[in-house]
A and B are shown apart, each in its own frame.
Chain A
Amino acid sequence: MADSARAAIAVNRYGLGARPGELLHAGEDPEGWLGAQLAASPPRVAGAGLRASADILSQALELRRERRAARAGDAPASADAAVVMKIGQLFRPIYVDEATARIRTALATDRPFLEHLTYFWTNHFAVSVDKVAVLGVAGSFEREAIRPRVLGSFADLLLASTHHPAMLLYLDNQTSVGPNSLLAQRAERRASERRLGINENLAREILELHTLGVAGGYTQKDVTSFAEVLTGWSIGAQFGRLPGGVPGQFTFRPEMHEPGAKSVLGKRYADDGVGQAVAVLQDLARHPATAHFIATKLARHFIADEPPPQAVEHLQRVFLDSSGDLPSVYRALIRLKESWTQAFSKFKTPGEYIVSSLRGLEIPDDYAPKAFASFALLGQRIYAPGSPAGWPDRGADWDGASAVMKRIEWADALSQKLGSHRDAASLAPQWLGAGMSTATHASIARAASASQALTLLLTAPEFMRR
């Protein structure tokens, strides 16, 4: 395939859609352009007022303490509702600021492949803001756990994700208690009506969604056992039932941890407290099923909905040979001939569609707060996949009639706003390069107005895909 065609694939499918000039730049050496983005460590996300998860959560915990106090006394129900509202009021603007910073980064970055990989991993280790507990920390989760490790090892990513308060809250591990833990024994002695025990949500999702995959060969026994391993992985608080630790930060609570050696996937893990789960996670991270699962997801995301088996096998092998060194896997991915054979093989998600549109049109990044609402409008609210499985990744999940029509209407509205400020005829080759069809070219050339030409470019079959 000619370099010009490869460049179109590089900027559209691997990047976030071409900003004007980017395609030309990538065209000199598309694979090299992608590879170079993996060289330096990931940049931090800038944004005034972005706060650390621990800071946000400790403030929320303080509000929760007020709520508990109100409940304990004779305070009316309205007082309780008022505190719930206060937590929402605390989280909502933080969420919007985080989402806005994410959009700004997407519009401004000159390492779009790296940013795209960040999205991939955030979606892989999904938390969703429709659970209010994580509304305030979904963005900081991405900034703290995911971004800094996208160019590290898979094991580091997995550990960071599992350690992060957002994940612990999202999958309910912060209150999971070993049935034979000190805390459970204490409760039993006091004949507490509240039964303490494990919550296997996090353990199951790690096995099913983060590592081995649903067909990865684990059993319910493994889930239960792994959940026991994970007991004690919690969040620090100053007050409440479980004081101790740094408020809002990961805290291992030995009194909640199920004592004893445990067996996961046939391997026995001695109990050394917090290290027991770390050991399991490290083994999971280099398990062949994990390698296969990650290879499949990467190939599905970057090559095609139904990726060629030989491509998946190759990535799996590289993953295993490199002990999950992610840059090695990414480099293997962009070297695969299958990565460059079929242009526009993926139907864009709404988020990809919006980001690529805004990048292509060189929308200034101060537009980010306004772009924020577009994601929800087109069906992909930021940080809200709605499930720990993350957003789905096949065309059929996104190309419904109403979704397509919404996208067209959104594109047309944007085009009308921009009107003659953008020239679709000169942008089209800079977005689509050699991938532009003659029909798209002709349609844009024949448009009756500048804004109509932009609509036709934005809604062109090629631009609906990447």
Chain B
Amino acid sequence: MRSIKRRDFLCTGALAAGSVLFTSRIAFAGSGTRPRFVFVILRGALDGLSAVPPYADPDYARLRGEVAIPSPGAAGGALKLNGLFALHPSLAFLNECYGAQELIVFHAIASPYRERSHFDGQDVLENGCARAHAVQTGWINRALAALPAQSSARRGELGIALGQNVPLVMRGPAPVASWSPSKLAALDEDTLQRITDLYSADPLLSQRLADALATQSVAEAPQDEPMMAGADEHAPAQLLAAREQPNAKGGAPYKEIIHATARFLKSDDGPRVAVFDALGWDTHANEGGAQGQLAARLAGLDAGLRILKEDLGPVWRDTVVMVVTEFGRTAAVNGTRGTDHGTGAAAFLIGGAVHGGRVIADWPGLSARALYQGRDLAPTTDLHSALKGVLADHLQVSTRALESTVFPDSAGSKSLQGLLRA
């Protein structure tokens, strides 16, 4: 099926405005550069305690059990950031950025949302309000709409959604572009796994799916590797192995999206703000530790961000990438070697324009007393504060707009200062 632009598809009034082809040029006040902002949504709730393990927290190893990431220096150990925090060993590029002072790690951060529904959590993350379904527009779009316009007409939109859907965060009064690859894509591993589970009681469909996957794995196998050559007893194991490597195709799962993001952001007349999302973070079972399911996903994300930097070249200097998720996961490992929906999360601010090399966290600790509702990392940093800081300092969104339209319920969320290089 060919790609469908959302505005062809669901004509809300706001998007109908996208048919106005000439939008005003935006002047980013007070800077000679043109800032780029990339917002990455990790849907499904990233386990911040694995992505950014607080290895020195006295309760960490005990709570996390077999999903705990070994301390820095141990075999497969985490990548040390400071005396308390480290990065998951899969996040090599982020670690380099940290060393280059281009990464800020946020921990125990959360949006105003305090329940544990993915859909509502993502809604709050994107709508910029205090509760789910409060409005049908997103804070990035409202921020774009609030930017001062310059009279010289230039074709094109300031924002672009990469992927087949324009996410809520990018919907609203400002016209936005969208782009997606046009051919039918293979499913992400997480969705495929869920369908496989859903088919487990259906002999026909589970067989068909298994057959299709086996065919695919053959089709995708490197030419120089003999596939199941005469080793029947090994065949099932090989298939299993193939299924357990999320990025068996090689490279980052979002490669195509990321190349496109960079292409768009580098273009002189192109958009300045890009949004894309990544699925597969809902690690309820067999999450893994230094290796395994989550590790592979983090490696894919890390590789994708590295590609973004490489593709952007000199534009990286003017770029800020914010990576967020709807909420964190339980402090303790659950009964299926995974973690359930939680509260306090981790987030990343990366880019050449970031005043990085820092962890921003008012660490509440993981003691039984410190946990939110006895189970989750307690949220101590307000995500809206961080976002307001980025929008104000990077995109030059006015304080008035930030308080009134972009984050309307956020009077109590003080903008974080100094996130960007001076």
B208 touching A377, Cβ below 8 Å? no
Question: Of A395, A405, A452, A464, which contacts B194 at CB under 8 A?
Answer: A452
Q: Closest chain B residue to A395 by CB distance?
A: B204
Chain A residues touching B, majority SS: helix
Question: Of A410, A418, A452, A456, which contacts B279 at CB under 8 A?
Answer: A452
Residues in A with CB closer than 8 Å to B202 are: 461
Per-residue 0/1 for A422-466: is the Cβ within 8 Å of any B Cβ (1 yes, 0 no)?
Answer: 010000000000000101100100111111110110011100100
Q: Does A337 contact B (CB under 8 A)?
A: no
Per-residue 0/1 for B1-17: is the Cβ within 8 Å of any A Cβ (1 yes, 0 no)?
Answer: 11010101110000000
B164 touching A417, Cβ below 8 Å? yes
Inter-chain CA distance A412–B164, complex, in Å, is: 10
Q: Does A386 contact B (CB under 8 A)?
A: no
B198 touching A449, Cβ below 8 Å? no
Q: Does A406 contact B (CB under 8 A)?
A: yes
The stretch of A91-99, A319-327, A367-375 in contact with B is A367-375
Q: Closest chain A residue to B204 by CB distance?
A: A399
Inter-chain CA distance A448–B191, complex, in Å, is: 9
Q: Does A404 contact B (CB under 8 A)?
A: yes
A443 touching B197, Cβ below 8 Å? yes
Inter-chain CA distance A416–B161, complex, in Å, is: 12
Inter-chain CA distance A312–B131, complex, in Å, is: 57
Q: Does A402 contact B (CB under 8 A)?
A: yes
A461 touching B190, Cβ below 8 Å? no
Inter-chain CA distance A448–B123, complex, in Å, is: 13
A423 touching B119, Cβ below 8 Å? yes
B46 to chain A, nearest CB (A): 11
B259 to chain A, nearest CB (A): 18
A461 touching B199, Cβ below 8 Å? yes
Q: How large is the interface on B (under 10, 10 to 19, 20 to 34, 35 or more residues)?
A: 35 or more
A447 touching B10, Cβ below 8 Å? no
Inter-chain CA distance A119–B200, complex, in Å, is: 33
Residues in A with CB closer than 8 Å to B207 are: 401
The stretch of B18-26, B47-55, B280-288, B353-361 in contact with A is B280-288
Q: Closest chain A residue to B199 by CB distance?
A: A461
B212 touching A419, Cβ below 8 Å? no
Question: Of A399, A410, A416, which contacts B165 at CB under 8 A?
Answer: A416
B195 to chain A, nearest CB (A): 5
A420 touching B122, Cβ below 8 Å? yes
Residues in A with CB closer than 8 Å to B213 are: 405
Contacts between the two chains (Cβ within 8 Å), count: 129
Q: Does A221 contact B (CB under 8 A)?
A: no
B194 touching A456, Cβ below 8 Å? yes
Question: Of A399, A420, A439, A447, which contacts B167 at CB under 8 A?
Answer: A420
Which residues of chain B in 178-195 are interfacial with respect to chain A, using CB atoms and an 8 Å cutoff? 184-187, 190-191, 194-195
Inter-chain CA distance A409–B163, complex, in Å, is: 15
A75 to chain B, nearest CB (A): 39
A464 touching B205, Cβ below 8 Å? yes
Inter-chain CA distance A249–B199, complex, in Å, is: 52
Q: Closest chain A residue to B126 by CB distance?
A: A420
Which residues of chain A in 159-206 are interfacial with respect to chain B, using CB atoms and an 8 Å cutoff? none
Which residues of chain B in 148-180 are interfacial with respect to chain A, using CB atoms and an 8 Å cutoff? 163-165, 167-168
Interface centre among B202, B215, B216 (most CB of A within 10 A): B202
B198 touching A459, Cβ below 8 Å? yes
A408 touching B187, Cβ below 8 Å? yes
Q: Does B43 contact A (CB under 8 A)?
A: yes
Q: Does B411 contact A (CB under 8 A)?
A: no
Q: Does A68 contact B (CB under 8 A)?
A: no
Residues in B with CB closer than 8 Å to A461 are: 198-199, 201-202, 205
Question: Of B164, B167, B185, B198, which contacts A409 at CB under 8 A?
Answer: B185
Inter-chain CA distance A455–B199, complex, in Å, is: 13
- Given A408-B195, A409-B186, A461-B205, the answer on whether A448 and B212 have CB atoms closer than 8 Å is no
Residues in B with CB closer than 8 Å to A423 are: 119
A370 touching B4, Cβ below 8 Å? yes
Inter-chain CA distance A50–B212, complex, in Å, is: 41
B105 to chain A, nearest CB (A): 23
Inter-chain CA distance A439–B45, complex, in Å, is: 22
Q: Does A309 contact B (CB under 8 A)?
A: no
B118 touching A447, Cβ below 8 Å? yes
Residues in A with CB closer than 8 Å to B279 are: 448-449, 451-452
Inter-chain CA distance A419–B216, complex, in Å, is: 26
B4 touching A449, Cβ below 8 Å? no
Per-residue 0/1 for B254-285: is the Cβ within 8 Å of any A Cβ (1 yes, 0 no)?
Answer: 00000000000000000000000101111010
B204 touching A448, Cβ below 8 Å? no
Q: Does A421 contact B (CB under 8 A)?
A: yes
Q: Does B44 contact A (CB under 8 A)?
A: yes
Residues in B with CB closer than 8 Å to A420 are: 119, 122-123, 165, 167-168
Inter-chain CA distance A440–B211, complex, in Å, is: 22
A456 touching B122, Cβ below 8 Å? no
Question: Of A395, A418, A456, which contacts B198 at CB under 8 A?
Answer: A456
Q: Does A413 contact B (CB under 8 A)?
A: yes
Residues in A with CB closer than 8 Å to B368 are: none
Which residues of chain B in 209-264 are interfacial with respect to chain A, using CB atoms and an 8 Å cutoff? 209, 211-213, 215-216
24 CB contacts below 8 A, A to B, read: A400-B208, A401-B209, A401-B212, A404-B208, A405-B209, A405-B212, A409-B184, A409-B186, A412-B185, A413-B185, A417-B9, A418-B165, A420-B167, A440-B198, A447-B118, A447-B194, A448-B45, A448-B118, A449-B44, A449-B122, A451-B165, A451-B279, A452-B43, A452-B190
Q: Other than A364-B9, A449-B119, give 4 A-B pairs with Cβ distance below 8 A.
A: A364-B10, A399-B208, A404-B208, A408-B195
Which are the 6 A-B pairs with shortest beta-carbon distances? A448-B44, A448-B282, A401-B211, A405-B212, A419-B165, A401-B212
Residues of chain B whose beta carbon lies under 8 Å from any beta carbon of chain A: 1-2, 4, 6, 8-10, 43-45, 118-119, 122-123, 163-165, 167-168, 184-187, 190-191, 194-195, 197-202, 204-205, 207-209, 211-213, 215-216, 277, 279-282, 284
